[in-house]
Amino acid sequence: MNFYQLIERFRTDTLDVSLPAFAPELAICATIVAMLLVRMPGFGRKINSFCIALPGAVAALWLAAPWHYLGGDVELHSTPIFDGLLVFDTFTIYFRSVLMLFAVLFLIFTTLSGIPDREDSPDFYTLVLGGLLGMCIMASANHMLTVFLGVEMASVPSYALAGILKGRRTAGEAALKYAVYGAGAAGVMLYGISLLAGALGSAHIPTMAAQLASLSPEAFADRQMVLMTGALMVSVGLAFKLSAVPFHFWAPDVFEGACAEVNAFLSVASKAGAMALLVRVALGFSHAPAPAHGEPPIPLHTHAVVAESTPFQLTAMQKAPTVVSPDDDEPAHAHHEHDGHDHAPGELDHGHAAHSIAAGTDNLTKARKFIAGLIALLAAVTCTFGNLAAYGQTNIKRLLAYSTIAHAGYMMMPVAAAVAMSGSDTAGSHEAIAAVCFYVGTYLFMNLSAFAIIAFLRNTIRSEEIADYAGLIKSSPGLVICMATVLVSLVGLPPLAGFAAKFFAFGALVKAEMFALLVIGGLNTAISLFYYLRVVKAMTIDPEPAHRTPVAFSMISVEGVYVVLMTLPVLLLGIWFNTLLRWAQAAAGGLL
């Protein structure tokens, strides 16, 4: 491969494949640049940034086009873009769409709630959109470098957003705490990445998995310690983003200190990105892609994940022939389909898959077990801790912070199931991933609605204490009904979206026969009832406090309509969730 060929390949890869697939992110980039540039000329200062950000977000959502890709009209193969740094598949599309939809709804929300003010708004929206860009990269990451890049791109704006309320002590404290924690976690994660990359000779996730699969038993035993340490360190970074126990400490403080708008951003978008990343990394290391790497036999198929379109990774990073044991000249086909649920790459490679190396599958089985066990443990602890700690809270934002921690636990449960099943039951694994996707989709509305109500209430009663919500039903019944709907949905009672989400998550656990985790999840649901209901009780049953700023909030206002529009999906997705479920299934189908 001469230089010209390389350049040519790079050109076609970038211009013909990668950039079109990256269009929504480009739209976001353009919006950010436009927002920054428009401030340069004098008249630009008079333009409200919202007027630029919203069209940009809408355009990005339009370009993400989930209805087009996930509706089942087009067959979409998983395509590596930017030389395998990112991957473009239905999973990417789903999460990107969720994030872009969030961007649109969030921008409207912030304008209505009045934070940020006009002065701050260019900064605020730049940070928000920049963070979302990072989350999109997290959702499509296919390389440990982009994993890290995505995490950082998402985190750094979040630190700033946490402290966006200038001059407030708690906000500053929250931002600083968040940044310090984040920096520590990122450092550990980076170290973990370097360990893994060193042990496996690459940072391209499919290649790493293939390498892992092809390690001889001795080599595997040799590196096991390094690999496990690396995996644990990477999990620190991921757990931080997910606010999973024991790296959740930032969450309550940040949620309490930052404004409700930022909380919505952190609890929905940040969590969605982190969930997607967790799925990418966990599944990436628990199954090796079918095609061969390195030397021929050259596969006949054209969309082989590794060999065809990632010349740089392979030539540049695969310098560790010693990693592959000497007697091992078979290609690494660890992606052994047991049950006939073939999808495109697997099917084409079926002939080779038969040659799969026993040691390879063995390595991956061990990896799967380790990863699934780790995630399951984190999920169980996170969920239980989040729910128990939420009991004593008096501040609604802090309570919801623990609630998001608990929900991170629920969401991680099907991921563990997916990893556990990825070797033996691809269909089951897909269902489990679909459950995660579905959960994230419904969670968007639940938390956005909850924080919108909190923000609007803050604007009128100047308080975020649960005690001050007492008896709200008298003055604004509509708002209380919406809030109660959302909270009950967070408990997971039908016919609300939260129930459907939990139902599928638990279904995945049953399918994977992880009964211990299932029972923990079930008990947690019952536990969580108590504190969510406490808020509902305060708003409905308790008498009004004597000295409270009178509630001036009418449902017949733009804010009221917004709250209703955010709450309606919580109800509707609990009753007619077929479409979202189909999309989630389509999204999951792109993996493995």
Partner 1 sequence: MQSDVAFLSLTVFLPALGALLLAFFPKDKPDAIKLASLAITVAVFAMTVSMLMGGDSARFKAGEAALQSAFSVDWIPSFNIYYFMGLDGISLPLVVLTSFTSMVAMGASWPIQKHVKAYCILFLLLETGMLGVFLALDFFLFYVFWEVMLLPMYFLIGVWGGPRREYAAIKFFLYTLLGSVLMLIAILMLYFNSDVRKLTPAQLETARIVLPGDAKSVDAIKSEKNAVHTFNIMALQSLGQTTDQFDREILFGKSIQWWSFVLLFIGFAVKVPSVPVHTWLPDAHVEAPTPISMILAGVLLKMGGYGIIRICYPICPDAGYDLAWFVCTLGVVSMVYGAFAALAQKDFKRLVAYSSVSHMGYVVLGIGVWSMSAGNGYNAAYMAQGWNGAMFQMIAHGISSAGMFFMVGVVYDRVHHRNLDEFGGLFARMPVYSGLAYVVFFAGLGLPGLCGFIGEVFVTLSVWNYSKTLAVISAAVVVLTAAYILWTLQRVYLGPEYKGPHGDHLHDMDLREKFIAAPLVAFAILFGVNPNLIFKYMEPTVTQSVEQLATWTENVKEPRLEAARAKEAKEAEAAAKHAAAAIVPADAAPVEGRQVRPAADHVSAR
Q: Which residues bind partner 1 (CB under 8 A)?
A: 341, 427, 488, 493-495, 499, 503-504, 506-507, 510-511, 513, 515, 518-519, 522-523, 525-526, 529-530, 533, 537, 540-541, 576-578, 581-582, 585
| φ and ψ at residue 196, rounded to 5 degrees | -65, -45
CB of 578 vs partner 1, minimal distance in Å: 5
CB of 502 vs partner 1, minimal distance in Å: 9
Question: CB-wise, 38 or 533, nearer to partner 1?
Answer: 533
Q: Tell me, what amino acid is at 379?
A: A
Question: CB-wise, 23 or 529, nearer to partner 1?
Answer: 529
Q: What b/e readout covers 529-539, taking b as 16+ CB neighbours within 10 angstroms?
A: bebbebbbebb
Sign of the C-alpha dihedral, residues 195, 198, 200, 201? Answer: positive
Question: CB-wise, 112 or 383, nearer to partner 1?
Answer: 383
CB of 188 vs partner 1, minimal distance in Å: 36
Cβ atoms 260, 450 nearer than 8 A: no
Q: Please give the torsion angle defined by the CA atoms of residues 344, 345, 347 and 350, in that order, rounded to the nearest 10 degrees.
A: 180
CB of 590 vs partner 1, minimal distance in Å: 16
CB of 76 vs partner 1, minimal distance in Å: 18
Cβ atoms 278, 375 nearer than 8 A: yes
CB of 527 vs partner 1, minimal distance in Å: 9
Question: CB-wise, 334 or 379, nearer to partner 1?
Answer: 379
Question: CB-wise, 126 or 585, nearer to partner 1?
Answer: 585
Question: CB-wise, 220 or 506, nearer to partner 1?
Answer: 506
Question: CB-wise, 192 or 471, nearer to partner 1?
Answer: 471
Question: CB-wise, 227 or 536, nearer to partner 1?
Answer: 536
Question: CB-wise, 144 or 436, nearer to partner 1?
Answer: 436
**Residue of 565, 575, 285, 273 lying closest to 437 (CA atoms):** 273
CB of 397 vs partner 1, minimal distance in Å: 23
Question: In whole angstroms, what is the distance from residue 396 CA to residue 384 CA?
Answer: 19
Cβ atoms 293, 331 nearer than 8 A: yes
**Residue of 156, 517, 196, 148 lying closest to 367 (CA atoms):** 196
CB of 370 vs partner 1, minimal distance in Å: 23
Cβ atoms 233, 188 nearer than 8 A: yes
Question: CB-wise, 287 or 511, nearer to partner 1?
Answer: 511
Question: CB-wise, 44 or 494, nearer to partner 1?
Answer: 494
Question: In whole angstroms, what is the distance from residue 114 CA to residue 119 CA?
Answer: 11
Question: In whole angstroms, what is the distance from residue 194 CA to residue 201 CA?
Answer: 10
CB of 411 vs partner 1, minimal distance in Å: 17
CB of 576 vs partner 1, minimal distance in Å: 8
Q: Please give the torsion angle defined by the CA atoms of residues 242, 247, 252 and 254, in that order, rounded to the nearest 10 degrees.
A: -80
Q: Give the tokens for residue 561.
A: 């309509």
Q: Please give the torsion angle defined by the CA atoms of residues 44, 47, 50 and 53, in that order, rounded to the nearest 10 degrees.
A: -40
For the stretch 520-524, contacts whose Cβ atoms lie closer than 8 Å and that sit 24 or more positions apart, written own/partner, are 520/380, 520/383, 520/384, 521/383, 521/410, 521/413, 524/383, 524/384, 524/387, 524/406, 524/409, 524/410
Q: Where are the alpha helices (DSSP H) in 324-395?
A: 344-348, 350-353, 358-390
Centre a 10 Å sphere on the Cβ of residue 465 and count the other Cβ atoms it contains.
15
Question: In whole angstroms, what is the distance from residue 456 CA to residue 482 CA?
Answer: 13
Cβ atoms 434, 511 nearer than 8 A: no
Question: In whole angstroms, what is the distance from residue 334 CA to residue 271 CA?
Answer: 31
Question: CB-wise, 137 or 580, nearer to partner 1?
Answer: 580
CB of 301 vs partner 1, minimal distance in Å: 24
Question: CB-wise, 26 or 533, nearer to partner 1?
Answer: 533
Sign of the C-alpha dihedral, residues 144, 148, 154, 155? Answer: positive
Question: CB-wise, 88 or 499, nearer to partner 1?
Answer: 499
CB of 583 vs partner 1, minimal distance in Å: 10
CB of 510 vs partner 1, minimal distance in Å: 4
Cβ atoms 188, 300 nearer than 8 A: no
CB of 534 vs partner 1, minimal distance in Å: 9
